[in-house]
Amino acid sequence: MAKLCYFIMIFCTLALLISGCGKLTGNAVNVNHVENYENNYEKNYEKGIIIGAYFCPNEDCSKIIEDFISNANYSVHCAFFELEQENLIGIFAKKSHTLDVKIVIDSNNYNGQIKGNGVKTANSKQYMHNKFCIVDSSKVLTGSFNPTIKEANLNNNNIITVKSGLIASNYEDEFTELWNGVYSSGKKTKYKKIISDKIALENYFCPEDCSSEPSPDKNAEALHRIFDLIRNAKESVRVASFTFTHEAISDELIKADSRGINVTILTENRQKNVMGSQYQRAKDFGLKIKTDSNKYSMHHKFIVIDDKIVITGSPNFTLSGFNKNDENFLIIYDKIIASKFSKEFDNMYG
């Protein structure tokens, strides 16, 4: 019996590795040149896009989001999984006297902390797991950060800010769906791929862009974009995920490692033994995977590819994150932003 199990394990390993050597599907982006991105995809141009990246708790994420909202001139639309920061709630209340302020909060985390006609709860069977705000239909704040004291001061998180009318339009469309009670569904993203000078962006919302059917084996464009980028990595892939149970993403990382890509993975210590965790499987295949040393939470959900591309947003790398929950994420083609995420990863990984 022991010999039989051994041969089965060897056979499965070879089958998995061989499956990664076939022809790639989809329109893979050349990760080294934004110009190739431009040539391969529809051309949504926008000049002057500005992107910022911030990391809690080393940076003051409470102040970053407070300043972002305080600078609004006519509208603030936010979707939060959690909201606890009293200063931020006070800013929302003050702004609501003169501006169009609307907030959607996941019903599981609403306790009356903010009230009024501009507040709705997302009463969905799944999580409304977003953490984004749109200001003046021109700027977006998103990432892994929930505006709570613990998230800002103790947990590892990231905030992305984007000054872009097209990206803001995507998020406004998503917010309108949430405000109107459309959860875990909706229209596909309008401007998925955007070029600006030497920066390129992709923008997706789950589950509408991420899963075409309830079956976890029928994943749509957004997840295949992640697969394509991992498959086209030339040197390195860094992964930081609070929860890591997505077997298909794990498969792509194992294949990348098998062809010589430097794959390193960091996951939350308390999540390594949850049902479906890919932690032990990755270790068994020889990948460099560690749990974080933060005694609170490593709450990031990002991938850095070749120190040039960042995938980041609200979904954990789980089936629920891509197939069920309301989520959002960005793919950012910018070496400066990527280097910041690589530095954050390396500091946590040790």
Supply the residues annotated as catalytic: 299, 301, 306
Which amino acid, residue 34? V
100 vs 42: CA distance, rounded Å: 33
Which amino acid, residue 350? G
Q: CA of 22: how far to CAs of 19, 25, 177, 233, in Å? A: 6, 9, 39, 16
Which residues have a Cβ under 8 Å from the Cβ of 222 and sit 6 or more positions away? 204, 206, 209, 210, 322, 329
Q: Which of 51, 83, 131 is nearest to 340 (CA)?
A: 51
Q: Which of 349, 262, 342 is nearest to 309 (CA)?
A: 342
Which amino acid, residue 271? Q
Which residues have a Cβ under 8 Å from the Cβ of 335 and sit 6 or more positions away? 307, 308
34 vs 294: CA distance, rounded Å: 36
**For the residues of 104-158, what is the DSSP string, one character each?**
EEEGGG-SSSS-STTEEEE--SS-B--EEEEETTTEEEEES--SSHHHHHTSBEE
Q: Are 332 and 51 in contact (CB under 8 A)?
A: yes
Joined together, the tokens standing for residue 198 give 């030497």
Q: Are strands 288-291 and 199-206 parallel, antiparallel or unpaired?
A: unpaired
Q: Return the bridge partners of 222, or none.
A: none
